[in-house]
Amino acid sequence: MKHLFVILFLLVALVVPAQDRSLGERLIDAIDGDIATARTFVGVLVTEADTGRELFARFEHRLFTPASNAKLYTSAAALDTWGPDHRFRTELLARGTLAEDGTLNGDLVLVGGGDPVLRSEHLRALAARVPAELGIRAVAGRVVIDDSLYAPRLKGPGWMWDDEPDAYQMSVTALMLDYNVLTVRLFEHEGRVASRLDPAADMPPIVNAMRDLRAANVTREPFTDVILVRPAAGEAPFQPTSVNLTMHQPSPWIASVFTRMLADAGVVVHGHAIPTGDAAPIARLAHDSAPLREILALFNKPSENAIGEMLLHNLAVHRGTVPATWSAGEAALRDWLVGTAGLEADSFRIADGSGLTRYSQITPAGTVTLLTHMWNHPHRVAYLESLPVGGVDGSMRGRLVNTPAQARVFAKTGTMGGVSSLSGYVQTTDGKWRIFSILTNGFVGSSRPARDLQDRICVELVQP
């Protein structure tokens, strides 16, 4: 009879509807029943947004490598510091003297002001304004890049050196163009593989070793600028293609790009060395960035690393550190997180603005504290709207599709080797809001099992 009673009890438990079981029970089943958690460390915290009441906790005070969940921290501090309508300015200064024939006997100086989203089309529009608004038809001197707002260290602390040529690990300067990523286009010309830069530029140089029509590799050696086009292994036929690369030293490339754009606008740059010293500019133009609310959406939804690094440096500039450094940006962010957002000082370290580094550490509890602060912030809507939406856009576009959680999860992803994170907000099917952080560290191979677990948790979280 005793064994029969146990069997009947288990059968009853099996048919209890999911909605009649507590959220905690459902999340425990989701986590402990996942084979991926056997070797993987998972930390979770879930709270009610409006009351702060804890709904579920598991290793919530343990430190995890966040990957791009660090972007939640950087964007929150930036939004609080400047507000959603703030714009960053890039200036073009004319130094020297202007002759009657429209010749500038001096230099054109592009001054970086920390605009994270300066694009080629913005620079081209600025070039077109030079003859139209300044009356300059020729430049006896050069195009000079002034990126002195940031210190010259180009790579962040703890970045992987062997990722250096890849498009997601750009060099960080106060004047960044297209996230300091150029495009090398390969095409057929006279029976061989030819190459060119887009936008057009004379720098950096391309060494093209192709002698016939077959597949090619495009790369550069770490911490150098020369682009190498080489035959790929095997005998695959050539197909026209484009490859995106970062540069080690972006400023010569930007100067060359702008020189070409000026030529297209009818302004010839002769490139002579004409000393102008610290003389005041005789004319200036300016380009203002998109408002910060739009920048944050470009930052968080596709997880664009360059924006985070510029925002971190700009926080240092805002505090009076010029030239800005990563350590000064880290200090400014740390002080804001502790003094304003209410995080415990030993519950995090954010060593860069994007999460590329493995030096950063966060906890689920600290992350939920930050998210709660932003939930109660005057700029909550701008912060929320910057996040990827499950099954809708950004890095969450392909997740939670055709589930009850689709379009109800507003959360930042984070992925690198052995790391998968998801933190943000979820709206339940009865209209309530919950705040959550799921941090996963310590797995080998694909992050897919960790992402699947996060998605199952989100599906449970939308249930009342």
Closest to 170 in 3D by CA, of 155, 160, 184, 159: 155
Q: Domain range for residue 62?
A: 21-85+292-461
* CATH number of the domain to which 307 belongs: 3.40.710.10
Residues 233 and 379 occupy one common structural domain: no
The 10 Å Cβ neighbour count of residue 245 is: 19
Q: Looking at the structure, do residues 176 and 141 belong to the same domain, yes or no? A: no
Shared domain check, 148 and 276:
yes
Amino acid at 171: S
Q: How far apart are CA 43 and CA 365, in angstroms?
A: 9
* Stated pTM of the model: 0.92
Examine the fold and report which residue of 287, 303, 335 is the final residue of a domain before the chain moves on: 287
**Which positions ≥6 away from 62 have C-beta within 8 Å?**
41, 43, 363, 364
Q: Within this chain, do residues 367 and 431 fall inside the same structural domain, yes or no?
A: yes
Same domain, residue pair 258 and 244: no
Say whether both 353 and 283 belong to one domain: no
Q: Are 186 and 230 in contact (CB under 8 A)?
A: no
Residue 129 sits in a domain whose CATH number is 3.50.80.20
Query: How many degrees, rounded to 5, is the angle at CA 30 between CA 27 and CA 34?
Result: 145
**Residues 228, 219: contact at Cβ < 8 Å?**
yes
Phi, psi of 430 (to 5 degrees): -100, 15
382 in a domain, yes or no?
Answer: yes
Q: Is residue 369 part of a domain?
A: yes
Given a contact cutoff of 8 angstroms between Cβ atoms, the answer to whether 139 and 267 are in contact is yes
| Residue 16 forms part of a structural domain | no
DSSP assignment letter at 361? B
226 and 127 fall within a common domain = no
CA distances in angstroms from 200 to 180, 394, 437, listed in the order given: 14, 29, 44
Do 135 and 269 share a domain, yes or no? Answer: yes
Instruction: Give dist(CA 160, CA 386) in Å, integer.
Output: 27
Measure the CA–CA gap between 30 and 309, rounded to whole angstroms.
36
Same-domain status, 456 and 320: yes
Across-strand partners of 288? Answer: 89
Q: How many domains does the chain have?
A: 3
- Do the beta carbons of residue 70 and residue 414 sit within 8 Å? yes
Would residue 412 count as lying in a domain?
yes
Distances 153 to 174, 249, 328 between C-alpha atoms, Å: 11, 10, 13
Between strands 103-111 and 138-139, the pairing is parallel
Question: Which of 236, 265, 287 is where one domain is finished?
Answer: 287
Give the pLDDT confidence of 284-338 residue by residue, as tens digits.
Answer: 999 999 999 999 999 999 999 999 999 999 999 999 999 999 999 999 999 999 9
Q: Give pLDDT < 70 ranges for the chain.
A: 1-20
Domain-embedded: residue 229: yes
Which of 248, 278, 309 corresponds to the end of one domain?
248
Cβ-based neighbour number of residue 62 at 10 Å = 15
Q: Is residue 1 part of a domain?
A: no
Q: Do residues 369 and 428 share a domain?
A: yes
Do 307 and 441 lie in one domain? The reply is yes
Say yes or no: 56 and 128 in one domain.
no
Domain presence at residue 119:
yes
The residues near 38 (Cβ < 8 Å, ≥ 6 apart) are: none
Query: What pairs with residue 95 in β-bridges?
Result: 107
Three-class secondary structure assignment of 211-258:
CCCCCEEEECCCCCCCEEEEECCCCCCCCCEEEEEECCCHHHHHHHHH
CA distance 440 to 457: 13
Examine residue 3 and state whether it is found in any structural domain, yes or no: no
Spell 207-237 as b/e; 16+ CB within 10 A means b: ebebeeebbbebebeeeeeebbbebeeeeee
